[in-house]
């Protein structure tokens, strides 16, 4: 019997925001994996350790959660006004599937830092000290992200006193700007930022899921396609932590059913069966007015500390904090009077909100305007941090891909 040797591929393991992932330079990948296709997907599945029926990722770099089952590819960009092209793959845990349909906002932070670490940014643009502006082309969604990365002695400064709920230790702050984060396609009425043309929609849902068979939702495509519903309509307060949702199989089934219905209304899928093959998008989240609760760390969050409560699901489970791209959607929706997010925050015009999530709080901002009867968001802003955890080579069996 012939045994395949292991090959080693240069890689860097990084935390970005409240996520972790394996980062690659495009030129370091095996040649057949430098283009989209089955070989690349199979490589990333093996790197992460999926599919894993035990849901532990013991034989890979993943952490068996949506926040830790991620791979990133960066390369120098030929696009004017950009430093690097950034491509993100969300690796399924229990299925042989890599979802390329959206971005990871948390790892966008690490992408800016990795671009400097990996020598992909023109050295002339990296100051000896101060802040380096890294211009990312997010290839999954065709959007520009600007990362303001702190630099000391010509290298990324990773340590600092910036604290991010959901991350154990403080680090250096990286400010992210998501430029024109809404979808640019044409939509009826309100345009593609609101795919149905409405700030809220009444969805027909099974009576077994929601009493009365009607559910009010805000469907928005900014940062990442997201379905927002009111917590109270589902019997929740909005203060729930992970175990309250992830330990309830019926609740997870209900959220996935509602996510599928929302995806159909947003035109992201043509029939319900496609939702299982599009796990990364759309996201589904529930919102509520401010209320006091104890975060997963034991930190007390008072109602006066926040503008609203938001809980979001990623890859079928309640997220331990908040996805970066969903934070963009929250910021955009909060800036538009009449959305469920805006109403939960108290209504009116606002360009920033602080929301409560399972791990604590986060402040996000967005610049929105009503132009020719259509809402547009020109920019969303948030702060995150990033740090290299390990660098060297990742090893995979040569017959994996």
Q: Which sequence positions are flagged as catalytic?
A: 104, 323
How many distinct helices (H) and strands (E) make up the chain? 6, 21
Peptide linkage before 51 cis (omega within 30 of 0): yes
The residue ranges of DSSP E strands in 161-256, in sequence order, are 174-179, 201-204, 214-222, 224-230
How far apart CA 101 and CA 117 sit, in angstroms, is 26
Dihedral sign computed on CA atoms, order 379, 165, 162, 355: positive
Distance CA 77, CA 120 (A): 9
Q: How far apart are CA 7 and CA 310, in angstroms?
A: 43
What does the CA dihedral 124, 126, 131, 133 come to, rounded to 10 degrees?
70
Contact predicate 323/314, CB 8 Å: yes
Give the span between the Cα atoms of 68 and 297, in whole angstroms.
19
> By the 8 A CB rule, do 352 and 363 touch?
yes
Q: Is 394 exposed, middle or buried (0-12, 13-18, 19+ CB in 10 A)?
A: buried
The DSSP H or E segment spanning 87 is: strand 84-91
């Amino acid at each position: 019997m012939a045994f395949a040797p292991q090959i080693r591929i240069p890689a860097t393991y990084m935390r970005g925001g409240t996520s972790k992932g394996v980062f690659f330079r495009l030129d370091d990948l095996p040649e057949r994996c430098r283009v989209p296709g089955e070989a690349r997907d199979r490589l990333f599945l093996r790197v992460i350790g999926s599919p894993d029926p035990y849901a532990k990722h013991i034989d890979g770099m993943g952490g068996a959660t949506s926040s830790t089952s991620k791979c990133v590819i960066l390369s120098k960009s030929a696009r004017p006004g950009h430093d690097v092209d950034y491509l993100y793959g969300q690796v399924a845990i229990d299925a042989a599937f890599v979802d390329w349909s959206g971005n990871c906002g948390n790892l966008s932070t690490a992408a800016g830092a990795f671009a400097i670490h990996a020598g992909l940014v023109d050295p002339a643009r990296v100051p000896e000290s101060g802040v380096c502006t890294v211009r990312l082309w997010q290839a999954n969604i065709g959007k520009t992200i600007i990362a303001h990365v702190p630099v000391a002695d010509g290298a990324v400064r990773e340590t600092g006193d910036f604290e991010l709920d959901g991350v154990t230790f403080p680090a250096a702050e990286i400010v992210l700007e998501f430029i024109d984060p809404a979808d640019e396609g044409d939509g009826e009425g309100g345009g593609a930022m609101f795919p149905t043309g409405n700030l809220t929609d009444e969805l027909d849902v099974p009576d077994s899921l929601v009493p009365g068979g009607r559910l009010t939702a805000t469907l928005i495509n900014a940062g990442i396609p997201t379905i927002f519903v009111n917590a109270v309509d589902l019997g929740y307060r909005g203060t729930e932590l992970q175990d309250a949702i992830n330990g309830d199989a019926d609740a997870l089934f209900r959220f996935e059913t509602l996510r599928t219905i929302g995806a159909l209304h947003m035109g992201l899928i043509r029939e319900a069966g496609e939702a299982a093959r599009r796990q990364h998008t759309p996201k589904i989240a529930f919102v509520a007015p401010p209320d006091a609760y104890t975060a997963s760390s034991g930190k007390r969050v008072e109602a006066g500390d926040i503008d609203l409560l938001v809980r979001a699901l990623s890859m079928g489970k309640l997220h331990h904090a908040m996805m970066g791209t969903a934070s963009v959607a929250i910021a955009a929706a909060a800036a538009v009077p009449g959305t469920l997010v805006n109403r939960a925050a108290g209504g009116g015009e606002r360009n920033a909100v602080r929301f409560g999530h399972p791990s604590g709080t986060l402040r996000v901002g967005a610049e929105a305007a009503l132009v020719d009867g259509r809402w547009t968001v020109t920019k969303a802003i948030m702060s995150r941090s990033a740090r290299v955890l390990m660098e060297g080579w990742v090893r995979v069996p040569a017959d994996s891909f």
